[in-house]
Structure 1
Amino acid sequence: MDPFVFSTTSQIVFRPGASAEIGSLVKKRLGDRILFVTDPGLRKLGLCNAALASLAEAGIVATLYDSVEADPSVETVHAATEAAKTADATGVIGFGGGSSLDVAKVVALLCGSGEDIDRAWGVGNAKGPRLPLVLVPTTAGTGSEVTPVSIITVGGDEKRGVSSPVILPDLAVLDPDLTLGLPAHITAATGIDAMVHAIEAYASRNSNNNPLSKMLAKQALQLLGQNIERAVVDGKDREARGAMLLGSMLAGQAFANSPVAAVHALAYPIGGTFHIPHGLSNALVLPHVLRFNAPDAAATYAEIAADAFPDLASEQSSRGRCAAFIERLAGLAAKLGLQSRLRDVGIGEEHLAGMARDAMKQTRLLVNNPRDVNEADALSIYKAAW
């Protein structure tokens, strides 16, 4: 067996209603002055109210930073960091989707270590220490609450990552009740995002791909594949919502240790340049990247096909099961009401060459792909997706 390292969040609490008890959960971890990082939409919906009331009841002074946007910018990170410093924060809570959690991670790092963010970009460059950190996801997609990665937008359209075990949180609080109000299209896009995490983690060419990540990826696909339609059709289905949140977290643990690859690399220019939500960006290129990879990865994809779609177990040959798996994924986005072509989200054919060039910048992801991808390959994949 090849050597590997597996890192994850120190403690995970999974319980309906847990976010309304967060004061008692974090008091000993975070101290009595915290920065609460979230987005304006969640504030407007009142989704943070119970958590903020719980913090106040526990005697914790919470400074609210609620200006996180989708695809958060480095300017947002700096503004939130200044808010934390002004409040003399002893800890940080990230509450929301992947954007809020990613900002909270970097704020905890910059406040705890005084590091320059420009020195922290990349893999293993953030040294720490960081402030104590708790993350509370409100979507079932990114798995950010258990990953050592934060993705931030720089210069308007370039996505950069901080990747280091230092930014894994001390506690992740998974409360399925927080996801009950998610609109169907967000449920669908974030759910497919989580499935992509599991698929790419399982098939990753990274030297740290390991038995634990593979096991978690398979379990994640079982939960996600068998519950995503239920969660989209009936957003109040607590059982389906809980399964999606748990599946997202398991997929996060998998790809945190066996990193993702070309689907994400090709999705980043779609999100960074055209501001398409990350989950939808992944869904738009997913089947086309898998078809490209199939000559080298058919057997691997066949191993997980029936985890996501149990009826595919009847397909005997690896290549047949792989092909059926890809076609099922290709139809899933449309079945769930999402756009399925790049042209459907306003991307013109004239943009594809520039996107292919930009995708080549994602070298930390492309090296993990089961099949080598060059710029011409990326352009062909984009054309197929257009």
Structure 2
Amino acid sequence: MSTQIALPRFARIGAGALDEIGSVVDQLGLHRPILVTDKYLVSTGAADRILDILRAAGKEPLLFDGTVPDPTTDSLEDGLRAVTAHNADSVIGFGGGSPMDTAKALAVLSANGGEMRSYKAPHVYTGKALPIIAVPTTAGSGSEATQFTVISDSASDEKMLCPGLSFLPIAAIVDFELTISMPPRLTADTGVDALTHAIEAYVSRKANPFSDGLALAAIRTIGKNIRTAYADGEDRTAREAMMIASTQAGMAFSNASVALVHGMSRPIGAHFHVAHGLSNAMLLPAITRFSVKGAESRYADCARAYGVASESTSDVTAAQFLVDALTELCHDLKVPTPLAYGIDRGKWDNLIPLMARQALESGSPGNNPVVPTASEIETLYAEVYE
């Protein structure tokens, strides 16, 4: 049986890659891009830097800085009007996962119309879309290399996973220098997010030899560098390694899918406005512990790549070493529990049945080595709270 693999047409990777964005847009034959970013990146001058480069290349860009954390269907409306008014022929997503998710949604909705909920899984969209160029500023989401976007439904608070080739960027610019200013908390959360992508891609029921190599490479690199990047954001070697690993993990899960951690993470983000990487980190040790019995040899491979087991370590022992290592990592990176984060216990408990249903409906838990029931997901939500 063959495996379908989808990747950006090309990428520019390395220090100073951002300076080449004008030539990238030119190479693609595009002229009127809309730069989709957030107000923080405008305040730092980074957005103006891109606009200046594009204008110097003879392009006519427009800035849209109205993206919000965990973008919603309501937050897309101003962006859609901007795309139409500018007669944009392309969309540049510049920032972390939220600006890139927004850019992907705008690229599809502006070209094809409809409502965002009509694009959510299990529907897979491969129709009309504006070309997307992705420029990540965090080493975590891997969105620059994935055929997914995640948008919350403003009416229901459901965090919708929307898949399909039309959401895949045509080009990516991966410049680790953009991550050097990331604070420790963001470095930790996005780093664990990338690690989660890699582990889930490797243990997913949709894993394949192509995604396996990328996933293990990312796990190996993250294991060696995440604590250094967290402790010393100026360490260029660690920053570059984490950025490359994030893109590799994105390519891996885009072609193998994620699993239970992500299925349970999205409702936490939607209902409690917890950043995606952090909600993954809150869940990763417990969900791994729950799942190892379904794929001990695969989790053991992850442990060996991460550096906590050797080839001579039995699979059962190595898999347990991975659970212990992930627990230790989240402790070292000061990942809070939902309780420590400040989430009200009563609200959490009341929403558990809804979150469990939304997790299952996303389809991601079906890729997990142990496919959970709704009751088991509810138990896991109760366990991770404190």
TM-score, with length taken from structure 2: 0.95
Deviates more, 1:59-68 or 1:143-152: 59-68
State the distance in 2 between where 1:267 and 1:356 align: 14
CA distance in 1, matches of 2:126, 2:375: 37
Aligned partner (choices 349, 353, 376) of residue 352 of structure 1: 349
Aligned pairs for 1:1-386 (under 5 A) are: 2-29=1-28, 31-155=30-154, 157-206=157-206, 209-308=207-306, 310-313=307-310, 316-339=313-336, 341-350=337-346, 351-352=348-349, 354-362=351-359, 363=361, 364-386=363-385
Q: Which amino acid aligns with 2:35?
A: F
Q: What SS does the corresponding residue of 2:62 show, helix, strand or coil? A: strand
Question: Could you tell me which amino acid in structure 2 is paired with residue 210 of structure 1?
Answer: N
Kept in 2, the 8 Å contact 1:232–1:336? The answer is yes
Shift of 1:78: 2.4
Go from structure 1 to structure 2 and tell me whether the alpha carbon gap of 1:44 and 1:30 turns closer, same or farther (over 3 Å shift).
Answer: farther
2:66 and 2:78 in contact (8 A); partners too: no
Closer/same/farther in 2, CA of residues 333 and 36 from structure 1, 3 Å limit: same
Counterpart-to-counterpart distance in 1, 2:136 and 2:24? 15
C-alpha separation in 2, matches of 1:324 and 1:63: 50
Q: CA deviation at 1:353?
A: 5.0
Q: Please identify, of 10-19 and 144-153, the stretch whose mean Cα deviation from structure 2 is larger.
A: 10-19
Percent identity (aligned): 35
In 2, are the aligned partners of 1:35 and 1:91 still within 8 Å (CA)? yes
Please tell me whether the aligned partners of residues 268 and 355 of structure 2 are also in contact (alpha carbons under 8 angstroms).
no
The letter for the 2-side match of 1:313 is: S
Shift of 1:18: 1.3
**Alpha-carbon offset, residue 76 of structure 1:** 1.7
Amino acid across the alignment from 1:70: P
Structure 1 position 234, deviation (Å): 1.0
Report if aligned partners of 1:357, 1:375 keep a CA contact under 8 Å in 2: no
Task: Give runs of ≥4 in structure 1 deviating > 6 Å.
Answer: none
Q: Shift of the alpha carbon at 1:292?
A: 0.9
Structure 2 unaligned residues grouped into runs of 5+: none
SS at match of 2:134: strand
Unaligned runs of 5+ in 1: none
Contact 1:176/1:241 (8 A) holds in 2: yes
The RMSD of aligned alpha carbons is: 1.6
Q: For the Cα contact (< 8 Å) 1:35–1:63, is it kept in 2?
A: yes
SS, match of residue 246 in structure 2: helix
